[in-house]
Amino acid sequence: MKMRISLLIFAFCVAFVPGKAEIKVHTLTTDYKTNPLGIDNPVPGLSWIITSDRDNTIQASYEIRAAHSRKDVVKGRKLIWKTDQVESSRSVHVKYGGAPLSSFQKVYWQVRVRDNHGERSKWSEPASWEMGIMQENDWKARWISPDLKEEQGRSMPSPYLRKEFDLSGRIKEARLYISSQGLYQVEINGSRIGNQEFTPGWTSYNTRLQYQTYDVTGKLMQHQNAMGIILGDGWFRGRLGWRQGRSVWGDELAAIAQLMVTYADGSKEIFITDDSWQATTGPIMQSDIYDGEEYDAGRELTGWSTPGYDAARWQHVKSVDIVKTRLIAPEGPPVAIIEELPPLSLHKQGDQWIVDMGQNMVGWIRIRARGKNGDVITLRHAEVLDKAGNMYYDNLRSARATDIYHLKGAGEEVFQPHFTFHGFRYVSVSGYPGVLTTDDIRGMVIHSDMEPAGTFTCSDSLINQLQHNILWGLKGNFLDVPTDCPQRDERLGWTGDAQVFAPTACFNMNTATFYTKWLKDLAADQAADGMIPHVIPNLLGGGGATGWADAGVVIPWVVYLNYGDVSVLQNQYESMKRWIGYMQVHAGEDFIWSGDRHFGDWLAFASNRSDYMGAYTTTDLIATTYYAYSSGIVARVAAILGKEADARYYRDLSEKVKAAFNDEFVTPNGRLVAHTQTAYTLALAFDLLDGETVKKSAAYLARDVEQFGHITTGFLGTPLILLTLTKFGMNDLAYKLLNRKEYPSWLYPVTMGATTIWERWDGQKPDSTFQDPGMNSFNHYAYGAVGKWLYQVVSGIGIDENNPGYKHMIIHPRPGGGLTAARASHKSMYGQIVSGWKLEGEELTMEVEIPANTTATIYIPGDPSGILINGSPLSSSGMEYKKNRDNVMAETGSGHYTIVTTL
């Protein structure tokens, strides 16, 4: 049978109209951010997007100019930097090359470009960035701590700090620079400043502590003003880890704030934290990340952050010396309330209300009530209900996940917590005065405020729900660090989970600065011998587990491939080398890493069948595969950075480990000593096999998949198995694993009503009972790493590793598995990419968008002689192409085309 295939390739630009060609420059960013305040990178990377109404447009040259005022840069005067016309197609991560910058300076910049058609753009709209506090001696403020009596060993009432100050002149602009040990919220003149949550964020507190910069110009008044700061325990002093420990980084909460005011006449004035501030406690009786918050509205300090408030009974603060920690500007996105969810339903159960938010989410509940003084509302959070419809708390372990609100009895009252978050779908509300309605309650969804970047849909509703679960697993666990889970007494930055999920995360969200920030904490917490801890920031103490610690090599590489940003490689290179050195020491002269404690293929399938040994893959095999793989990555990084001697050294090391792996773990007929899906997947995915051994091992992998009929991999094998099957021509088996609906599979949790990815393949069993509550998260993104295969194989958007950041992309969808349609989009540094297809009878229509200043290789099935481009033969389209066994590979740039082919 012949199949007629129609491919539609739509460009980012519209069709070219002679005489009206125009190229535009827009979406200017500085270190990925739009007009950022308070950065401390002295040579930030500048990026822009170009669009054109002409096909096949590539930037041929660019010019950049910069000045300290918007007027000056627009008029091209008093410039601090002006490039010549730079002959380059580079439009991302162009390093600032102007006059050296100092603290507090603001820079406005513009860019214009010329394209390969000879068209020149207008100067772009100005963008800007503002430097933060770059030198330690520019901090005039003192660290202060509330001098209040506190008990150690439990969460205490949150301290409130305040200070009044007078502004004598007309205010032109004002900036607030602020940080804390613990968490803070800040108010000026009764208004909360900023929309960020959980500031100053979670870093390696012993070495790096972030401060935030706020534009508070509109919050200040001439003459009397007041500032107030609330402190919470947070990660710094609160309960953290399952060992019931507190005060991991210290037991004293503290704050530092510096307000810089510029008056209309150009004069400046600084107001700082010092020992003239006052402190007390208020309505937040306790607030802990794991356990929740208790708030007594009857103790509210009405007007406490406004001038004229009576603080006569407040206590003094004390100045404290904090010298071990360096204050740094934030690099990653802030945590914020991103959306509000209304309840799906609620019902009365005994003396409590059970509220279903319809989505396993991370954040908290905002509740509205009217009652009398002394009424107490208690909210408890859970991810699932048991088979009887009761709230299921066992998998939270010791986390109480409970918020308590004491009403003051003054009309309508609204409560939401300040310094805690929960992972939940269901909420038990007890003590509510009156009848609770869905209008009285909202789910406040929080996560790091990353720009959405990717979408995926297809003709199968279960797979669409899987994508939904992948995305919400990302949202729930990207809360300033990539955590493993958001609900139990853990919520830590496990390196293994982060490593396997990074490619999927980068497709769905712009995670560049999120990972860049976290990787610097990884390097800061790395031991002198190169050991990388299990969790970052490090509070557990252990480390050096293969597949987990390799995050220090793999994630910088993934970020580079997705965003084309060499700075992440430069920043992490020494850390990457130290990890390889650690593996060298522990593997020894035979290059086989055995004997150390590793997590292995965590939570792999355990078979009960008598004819199989389950799916246990020996840890020495896994460790050695990662030793070879990570060494090879470092060799490639060294070459990119121009370190040729290092590149040769690590290439040679990787080859030696590869040879040792084959000698130790591969039989002459291509069988691995650990005869598991994960063993074959890692060996094949990491290119550790040669010649006929590759074919034989691929056949063993296929046979294992066919015999089991399902996936048996754990955390390390799962992200790679479908990609490996596709790579070796077994796409039918990959689709078979994807489409399976019984345990174990990706779709089994979907059939059980999951709205996020589970930690275990069978977190909830078919009879609605649960797995071991000691480790059974229902929001654990690791298995969601299958997303990369959905985007790269099903919809067909792929990265060319030789031209990273989607400068050149691979469009290669591979329909199958009974799907009749699929579509994905991704917002790259150059603009939006789309690849989609729809099958109607024997005709297949593909939709593709390719942004300007990029090129693509399009894989078109069929014979070149039968392919039409916009109604004309491929041979007259101007595209270069060649034929392989299954496809025509056509090279193209931005443009829109309709391609018709017959198989």
Residue 702, helix vs strand vs coil:
helix
Look up residue 748 and give its amino acid.
Y
**Residue 550 and residue 573: Cα distance in Å, rounded?**
13
Residue 832 neighbours by CB under 8 Å, 6+ apart: 12, 825, 826, 849, 851
Length of the chain: 903
Comparing CA positions, the residue from 471, 460, 474 lying closest to residue 735 is 460
The DSSP line for 598-656 is ---STT------TT--TT---HHHHHHHHHHHHHHHHHHHHHHTT-HHHHHHHHHHHHH
Phi, psi (rounded to 5 degrees) for 169: -120, 180
Burial of 851 (0-12, 13-18, 19+ CB in 10 A): buried
Contact indicator for 495, 536 with CB cutoff of 8 Å: yes
Phi, psi (rounded to 5 degrees) for 517: -60, -50
Termini Cα distance of the chain: 8
Burial of 708 (0-12, 13-18, 19+ CB in 10 A): middle
Q: Left (φ > 0), alpha (ψ -120 to 50) or beta: where does 247 sit?
A: left
> What's the per-residue H, E or C state across 863-899?
CHHHCEECCEEHHHCCCEEEECCCEEEEEEECCCEEE
Comparing CA positions, the residue from 436, 429, 413 lying closest to residue 364 is 429
Contact indicator for 576, 530 with CB cutoff of 8 Å: no
- Among all residues, which ones are annotated catalytic? 490, 759
Element (H, E) at 72: helix 70-75
Element (H, E) at 860: strand 855-861
Structure tokens at 425: 């779908």
Element (H, E) at 747: helix 747-751
Contact indicator for 223, 215 with CB cutoff of 8 Å: no
**Residue 537 and residue 104: Cα distance in Å, rounded?**
29
Q: Is the dihedral of CA 152, 155, 156, 159 positive or negative?
A: positive
**Residue 343 and residue 340: Cα distance in Å, rounded?**
10
Structure tokens at 492: 């830590």
Q: What's the Cα-to-Cα distance from 698 to each of 276, 688, 695, 729, rounded to whole Å?
A: 72, 12, 5, 9
Residue 545, helix vs strand vs coil:
coil
Structure tokens at 457: 């849909």
Q: How many helices (H) and strands (E) in the chain?
A: 15, 50
**Residue 539 and residue 346: Cα distance in Å, rounded?**
39
Contact indicator for 489, 239 with CB cutoff of 8 Å: yes
Q: Is the dihedral of CA 460, 461, 463, 468 positive or negative?
A: positive
Residue 791, helix vs strand vs coil:
helix
Comparing CA positions, the residue from 673, 677, 578 lying closest to residue 624 is 673
